[in-house]
Amino acid sequence: MVRFGKKLTADQVPEWRGYYINYKLMKKKVKQYGQQLQQGEKDRRRVLKDFSKMLDDQIETIVLFLLEQQGRLASRIEKLGKQRAILAEQPDISAIAELREAYREVGLDLIKLLKFVDLNATGIRKILKKFDKRFSYRFTDYYVSSRSNHPYSQLQQVFKHVGVGAVVGALSRNLADLQERQGSYLSIYDQPASALKDPIIDMINSSVDKLTRSTNFLRFLGQHALIAQEESPSTAGEEEIEDQKYHFVSLMLNLVNTFLYMVNTYIIVPTADDYSVSLGAASTVCGVVIGSMAVAQVFSSVYFSAWSNKSYFKPLVFSSIVLFLGNVCYAMAYDTKSLTVLIVGRLLCGLGSARAVNRRYISDCVPARIRMQASAGFVSASALGMACGPALAGLLQWRFKIYMVTFSQSTLPGWLMAVAWLVYLVWLCISFKEPNRATEADDTQHNRASGQSVDIGQVENGLAQPLLGDSESKQNEDDDDDEEDDSEESPQDSRKPATSIGSAYRLLTPSVKVQLLIYFMLKYAMEILLSESSVITNHYFNWNTSSVAIFLAILGLTVLPINAVVGTYISNMFEDRQLLMASQITLLVGIIFSFKVTSTYSVIQYVASALITFVSAEVLEGVNLSLLSSVMSSRLSRGTYNGGLLSTEAGTLARVVADCTITAAGYLGIGSLLNVTLLPSLVICAASIACTFLTYNSLF
């Protein structure tokens, strides 16, 4: 990878050179300020004032030039529009082709302007981060909040490209209208969006999407997986290497593993309380039964993540075998009359959790061009499994015996999943293709060698790079003496993945810690809702197993449509941090509404509060993981101790704590269970909102 100073110099449009942020000068100024503070030549207040003024001047230069270029592009589009009006009355095929090429030239210039905005926005981010690090001062929070929220904000022009959107829309509309559609020149508003095939439009839309961090449904759904989205390959050789590693059936096997595991997790929820009672325990022991799977997953996530450094096939085989044995133990607990066997079976199921392998396979072995689709598939498989699990439990209402083995609504989930994992194991052994590790090593060498400057003419390759990202770019080689790496580690270690939980923890900034707290909170709230649903609904409403199963299945089925609405519309209207705060507040309202405060507790109150809680938690999860991926160190995007593992551990710990809370609260009586278990959710949610407020200005 190339340091940012060098990348900035290499990627500049030569004739625009004087309008980019002077990153080299500002970096030297930061160093001088540090020396002046140490020598007592300036106080901190004067340094902050001088640095703010210098950065304001830099941004003003950028913005005025940006406005000038926007005006020129708008003027060119206006002139071409007059020509298009003439051609509409007197069509001329050759003239239309020439006009279309003229629009495409404007499109290429627009892409250059969007890349200009990207480079400057990245420079502003990095110099603010460098200033904060040298002076141990949260200057970024003050600067961003005071400038971006001001009515005369110039910072918004850079970070939100105010005004460019109109140019993008006008150009895309006119260029699309000129395309040949079987002799029809209807407006694009009369055509489906998929009809816009011009590569220039695709390039512009790709650039705008990355620049604004806006997203469609697929991208929003994929963010739930927290799978590293690396830069797209810039050479044919790298694409060939990725294609060699990719195997569609193997990807499908990973997604099926994800689906079956989620079914396995939730298929016992409607019947766990009855199963516990049949073995002589209290109904609230269902918390321990359900949570024991999460306890084991805390440990399995680590060793599966480490194992995936060497193989994908072997850990998947091990996972399938352990899950088969775990489900057999779970089913046999009834005939052995042993609660211990029941819990051991769930522990084995947790030890077979290969979600870390599933994530890692998508991140490492799926080509970048379809990685987002694969990530969305991972999340969709999880959501469908979550809905199918309780639904299947509701269907398994038979009771019979075969050779002293009892099959009932309590044991059939175990037997069904044991058969499913056995079939999956056979399919896995027949069809899975282990990626060539030598190919992955070659890929790594390719990536290291690909840190070359990108010619402005190769604009399409430039669009493959994530805009406004926090990549750990290098500085100019001649400035290495005063270059400080953006991470908290030494420069030699700045690009190495974390090698232990301790080193991963040291990479957690306050913003990352808050996002992990939010993830813990939402998983805790969801687990409380789901795990105690059978006990609560039976106590207050006398619901049977089928009713609970239908209720939980409906909750699970809301995941995809809610994410479709948020990903397609809402996320394009508001910033991620705004959605984060709003969804947390909505979740808090759902939790408060769930409390039993009167002598009666109605079905309407329970169902409505559950829907509010569950839906807001689902929205929050997508936004939370999106922000987590943007604020965490790039070193946490790979290796064993990656961001996906950290989020998994946070969520799994939340489930463990929630399920233990249910069982512990059961000793106070079923009547107190609801309010006692909701109280921690309320406190943690309020704390996460307060922490979000404190770090709000750093979430950009």
The neighbour count for residue 132, using CB atoms within 10 Å, is: 16
Q: How confident is the model at residue 370 (pLDDT cuts 50, 70, 90)?
A: confident
CB-count exposure of residue 466 (10 Å: 0-12, 13-18, 19+): middle
Q: Which residue has the higher pLDDT, 531 or 244?
A: 531
Query: Do residue 220 and residue 274 come from a single domain?
Result: no
Q: How confident is the model at residue 207 (pLDDT cuts 50, 70, 90)?
A: low
Query: Do residue 22 and residue 96 come from a single domain?
Result: yes
Q: Which residue has the higher pLDDT, 219 or 633?
A: 633
Question: Strand 400-402 vs strand 405-407: parallel, antiparallel, or unpaired?
Answer: antiparallel
The neighbour count for residue 651, using CB atoms within 10 Å, is: 22
Does the pLDDT value for residue 478 go beyond 60?
no
State both tokens at 632.
């965490």
* Inside any domain, residue 240: no
| Mean pLDDT value of segment 432-461 | 49
| Mean pLDDT value of segment 292-312 | 89
Does the pLDDT value for residue 608 go beyond 50?
yes
- Least-confidence region, from 96-110, 289-303, 437-451: 437-451
What type of residue is 536? Answer: I
Query: Do residue 526 and residue 666 come from a single domain?
Result: yes
- Coil/strand/helix, residue 377: helix
What SS3 string covers 433-500?
Answer: CCCCHHHHHHHHHHHHHCCCCCCCCCHHHHHCCCCCCCCCCCCCHHHHHHCCCCCCCCHHHCCCCCCC
Burial 327-345 (b: 16+ CB within 10 A, else e): bbbbbbbbeeebbebbbbb
* Inside any domain, residue 457: no
**Calpha distance 566→564 (Å, rounded):** 6
Q: Please report, for residues 31, 234, 469, the alpha-carbon distance to residue 231 in angstroms, rounded to integers and kept in the order given.
A: 32, 8, 11
The neighbour count for residue 541, using CB atoms within 10 Å, is: 14
Q: Which residue has the higher pLDDT, 643 or 355?
A: 355
Residue count (the chain): 700
Give the angle subtended at the CA of 204 by the CAs of 572 and 221, to the nearest 5°: 40
The helix-helix angle for 603-631 and 510-531 (nearest 10°) equals 150
| Mean pLDDT value of segment 62-70 | 88
Q: How confident is the model at residue 227 (pLDDT cuts 50, 70, 90)?
A: low
Task: Report the DSSP beta bridge partners of residue 407.
Answer: 400
Phi, psi (deg, nearest 5) at residue 450: -90, 10
State both tokens at 500.
């232990």
Burial 176-214 (b: 16+ CB within 10 A, else e): bbbbeeeeeeeebeeeeeeebebebbebbbbbbbbbbbb
The reported pLDDT for the residue numbered 591 is 96
Does the pLDDT value for residue 112 go beyond 70?
yes
Summarised one tens digit per residue, pLDDT across range 136-174 is 666 776 777 677 666 666 766 666 555 666 677 777 777
The reported pLDDT for the residue numbered 599 is 86
Residue 643's nearest CA partner among 128, 224, 212, 312 is 224
Q: How confident is the model at residue 67 (pLDDT cuts 50, 70, 90)?
A: confident
Q: Which residue has the higher pLDDT, 230 or 677?
A: 677
pTM of this structure: 0.67
Does the pLDDT value for residue 228 go beyond 80?
no
> What CATH number corresponds to the domain at position 265?
1.20.1250.20
The reported pLDDT for the residue numbered 697 is 74
Residue 630's nearest CA partner among 130, 125, 1 is 125
**Calpha distance 355→352 (Å, rounded):** 9
Task: Report the DSSP beta bridge partners of residue 181.
Answer: 184
The reported pLDDT for the residue numbered 59 is 87
Does the pLDDT value for residue 188 go beyond 50?
no
**Portion of the chain with pLDDT greater than 90, in percent:** 35
Phi, psi (deg, nearest 5) at residue 425: -60, -40
Phi, psi (deg, nearest 5) at residue 402: -135, 115
Q: How confident is the model at residue 685 (pLDDT cuts 50, 70, 90)?
A: very high
**Calpha distance 143→136 (Å, rounded):** 15
Q: Which residue has the higher pLDDT, 128 or 635?
A: 128
Can you say whether residue 404 is alpha, beta or left, with left for phi > 0 and alpha for psi between -120 and 50 degrees? left
* Inside any domain, residue 189: no
The reported pLDDT for the residue numbered 326 is 96
What is the longest distance spanned by two Cα atoms in the chain? Answer: 90
| Mean pLDDT value of segment 203-232 | 58
**Calpha distance 334→44 (Å, rounded):** 71
Helix, strand, coil share (%) of the chain residues, nearest 5:
75, 0, 25
Query: Do residue 263 and residue 167 come from a single domain?
Result: no
**Calpha distance 212→160 (Å, rounded):** 6
Q: Which residue has the higher pLDDT, 336 or 120?
A: 336
Q: Domain of 124?
A: 4-182+196-228
Under a CB-based contact definition with an 8 Å cutoff, are residues 164 and 113 in contact?
yes
**Calpha distance 581→257 (Å, rounded):** 34
What SS3 string covers 161-226?
Answer: CCCHHHHHHHHHHHHHHCCCECCECCCHHHCCHHHCCCHHHHHHHHHHHHHHCCCCHHHHHHHCCC
| Mean pLDDT value of segment 196-224 | 60
Summarised one tens digit per residue, pLDDT across range 397-430 is 899 999 889 999 999 999 999 999 999 999 999 9
Does the pLDDT value for residue 341 go beyond 70?
yes
Domain count within the chain: 2
**Calpha distance 136→129 (Å, rounded):** 10
> What CATH number corresponds to the domain at position 154?
1.20.1050
* Inside any domain, residue 290: yes
- Least-confidence region, from 120-134, 162-176, 676-690: 162-176
Rg (CA), the chain: 28
Query: Do residue 315 and residue 401 come from a single domain?
Result: yes
**Calpha distance 697→631 (Å, rounded):** 12
| Mean pLDDT value of segment 255-268 | 94
Query: Do residue 282 and residue 410 come from a single domain?
Result: yes
Under a CB-based contact definition with an 8 Å cutoff, are residues 435 and 247 in contact?
yes
DSSP readout, 230-266?
Answer: PPPP-SHHHHHHHHHH--HHHHHHHHHHHHHHHHHHH
Does the pLDDT value for residue 622 go beyond 90?
no
Query: Do residue 24 and residue 59 come from a single domain?
Result: yes
Q: How confident is the model at residue 16 (pLDDT cuts 50, 70, 90)?
A: very high
**Calpha distance 288→393 (Å, rounded):** 19
Under a CB-based contact definition with an 8 Å cutoff, are residues 287 and 666 in contact?
yes
**Calpha distance 603→266 (Å, rounded):** 22
The reported pLDDT for the residue numbered 490 is 41
Query: Do residue 285 and residue 213 come from a single domain?
Result: no
What are the counts of helices (DSSP H) followed by strands (DSSP E) for the chain? 30, 2
Query: Do residue 280 and residue 366 come from a single domain?
Result: yes
Does the pLDDT value for residue 491 go beyond 50?
no
Task: Report the DSSP beta bridge partners of residue 168.
Answer: none
The number of angstroms, rounded, from the C-alpha of 297 to the middle of its chain's C-alpha atoms is: 21
State both tokens at 256.
């099926």
**Calpha distance 177→173 (Å, rounded):** 6
Q: How confident is the model at residue 481 (pLDDT cuts 50, 70, 90)?
A: very low
| DSSP conformation class of 402 | E
* Inside any domain, residue 531: yes
Query: Do residue 221 and residue 272 come from a single domain?
Result: no
Summarised one tens digit per residue, pLDDT across range 421-440 is 999 999 999 999 998 765 44
Does the pLDDT value for residue 193 go beyond 70?
no
Give the angle subtended at the CA of 671 by the CAs of 665 and 675, to the nearest 5°: 60
Under a CB-based contact definition with an 8 Å cutoff, are residues 439 and 244 in contact?
yes
Can you say whether residue 452 is alpha, beta or left, with left for phi > 0 and alpha for psi between -120 and 50 degrees? beta
Query: Do residue 171 and residue 264 come from a single domain?
Result: no
Mean residue pLDDT across the chain? 79
Continuous segment of H or E residues that includes residue 405 = strand 405-407
Does the pLDDT value for residue 215 go beyond 50?
no
